[in-house]
Structure 1
Amino acid sequence: MSQNKQDQNKTAQNKFPSIIVFDVNETLLDITSLEPLFERVFGDRIIMREWFAQLVLYSQTMTLSGLYTSFGNLGVGALQMVATTHKVTLTDSDIVELKERMSNMPAHSDVIPALTRLKEAGFRLVTLTNSPSSTSPTPLDKAGLSQFFERNFSVENVGKFKPAPETYNMVAKELSVDTSELCMVACHLWDTIGAQAAGCRGAFLTRPHNAILSAPNVPLPDFVASNLNTLAEQIILNKEA
């Protein structure tokens, strides 16, 4: 390889991504708004975390098994599973309430200021979610966030859940860029790990109940912060460096 080609490749690798890809559930939208349902049904709002962990586990299990059903269907199934293990009987109205709450989650207080800063800094913003696409008004519409995003991508288009590489590659292909042009922002480390393995940068938001995993061969995120404003500042400063 010529020296000129090597220099071009090095420049491309060092260039900061121009497109910020946001996870939606818990990263942008506050899933603690689901807790009153779990408090009422199970008598303990922390059961919501058990349910969410099962939902993520079985979404990834489906992908590893070459199978697919919507995240919403898995959410209902996971709720029924958790109810069974806790010997609780669900009603149809409980299922309806779960769906309604999932479609009406508010944005975290740090989201709009951070998105505004990133927009003003010249970044292109998109979302990538495990949730299926929905008709307007979407959850992002209801949370007052849709105007910040150029595109909203759902994994349903590839029939695989994050962190499968096909999900991140889909975003890059749809935007006609390489994955190196993408920086994945998520409060789930499994999401940033998957994105980095696919060639993206990773920005990890340590919201409550989420933390770094230190183990051999586990890629550390390029950026880490407990607040989205701070994470946005890190990203902007890196771009300007």
Structure 2
Amino acid sequence: MTRPDLVLLDVNETLSDLTGLQDAFEQVGLPRDDVGGWFAGVLRDGFALTVLGDNPAFAEIATASLRARLSVAGHADPGQPAAEVLARFTALSAHPDVVPGLLAIADTGCRVATLSNGSASVAEALLGGTEAGPVVERYLSVEDAGTWKPAARAYAYALDVLDVVPERTLMVAVHPWDLEGASRAGLRTAWIRRGGGTYPGCFTPPDLEADSFVALAGMLRRT
């Protein structure tokens, strides 16, 4: 493939390290290993509401899901502990490969931007204070697109704002469902294999696969 003009990044799990929530879950009486299940449930509910024509706020769904889990865990008033966990969610750190990887990607001449199903402010808080902050051109959210990824309109919104055509854009994510949506919208795709595994056969194979953002930058440099 040719080198893209724009590298468009998913945020949650792709850039941010959700294991940073494990202590917060444990402190409010939830199992440490429930972080992944909680996040998957938030995505499920967001997708369901999107299919029904809504454009739900990520924070509202995340809070509702936490309150439900906290109620089952025995909290009579789950509002405060849910808020404590969400505060930690908005202050997560990036995976170790992200900052050097984004700097290396920008060094290839590619533009860099983010597109999240969550708030743009969360993505900006994640990267804005790092060395990679200056290379991120825009922090975009589906809140302004009117629909969650993987709906085609979410990617079209980002391309319109950034004034780039889909075939010159590389969507990067750890989530195959996100890359499937991007592929169907005409974008090129790159899968970051966090935790290994193989790409699900039910989806269109990505154009690139890499173990880290640093490795992805190396691939782009060679294109």
Shared fold (TM-score greater than 0.5)?
yes
Instruction: Kindly state the Cα deviation for residue 135 of structure 1 after the two structures are TM-superposed.
Output: 8.9
Deviation at 1:208, TM superposition (A): 2.7
**2:119 alignment partner AA:** P
| Structure-2 residue corresponding to 1:17 | 4
Of 35, 41, 46 in structure 1, the residue corresponding to residue 33 of structure 2 is 46
Gaps (5+ residues) in structure 2? none
Q: Output one character per residue of 1:96-117: Cα deviation in whole Å (capped at 9) or x when no partner.
A: 2122111111111111111111
Please identify, of 173-182 and 149-158, the stretch whose mean Cα deviation from structure 2 is larger: 173-182
Matches for 1:78-89 after TM superposition, within 5 Å: 78-84=65-71, 86-89=72-75
SS for the counterpart of 1:50 is helix
* Aligned counterparts of 1:70 and 1:210: Cα–Cα separation in 2: 31
Question: How far apart, in 2, do the equivalents of 1:210 and 1:155 lie?
Answer: 28
Identity %: 30
Q: Which residue of 2 aligns with 1:104?
A: 91
Matched residue, 2:177 = 190
Residues 60 and 103 (structure 1), Cα distance of their counterparts in 2 relative to 1, 3 Å cut:
same
- The residue identity in structure 2 corresponding to 1:36 is D
1:85-105 Cα distance to aligned partner (Å, 9 max, x none):
x44425333122122111111
SS in 1 for 2:3: coil
Letter in 2 for 1:160: T
Structure 1 residues 55 and 233, CA, compared in 2 at 3 Å: closer, same or farther? same
Structure of greater Rg: 1
Read off the aligned partner of 2:166 and give its amino acid letter: T
Find out whether 1:173 has 2:132 as its counterpart: no
Q: How many residues align?
A: 222
Q: In structure 1, how many angstroms separate the alpha carbons of the residues matched to 2:204 and 2:66?
A: 32
Match of 2:148 among 161, 185, 195: 161
Corresponding position of 1:8: none
TM-score w.r.t. structure 2 length? 0.90
Instruction: Pick one of 211, 225, 240 that aligns with 2:210.
Output: 225
- 4+ long deviations beyond 6 Å: none
CA distance in 1: counterparts of 2:68 and 2:90, whole angstroms: 21
CA-based RMSD: 2.2
Q: 1:8-62 CA deviation, whole Å, 9 max, x = no partner?
A: xxxxxx6432100011111111111111122233452110111001011111111
Contact 2:67 2:78 in 1 (8 A): no
- Contact 2:179/2:189 (CA < 8 Å) preserved in 1? yes
Q: Indicate conservation of the 8 Å contact 1:105/1:143, yes or no.
A: no
Q: Which residue pairs with 1:235 in the alignment?
A: 220
**2:202 aligned with 1:203, yes or no?**
no
Q: Give 1:66 shift.
A: 0.3
Please, what TM-score do these two structures have when normalized by structure 1?
A: 0.84
SS for the counterpart of 2:178 is helix
Structure 1, unpaired ranges of 5+: 1-13
CA distance in 1, matches of 2:44, 2:196: 16
Q: CA contact under 8 A between 1:104 and 1:143: conserved in structure 2?
A: no
1:150-201 Cα deviation digits (max 9, x unpaired): 1111100122111111111111111222111110111111111111111001
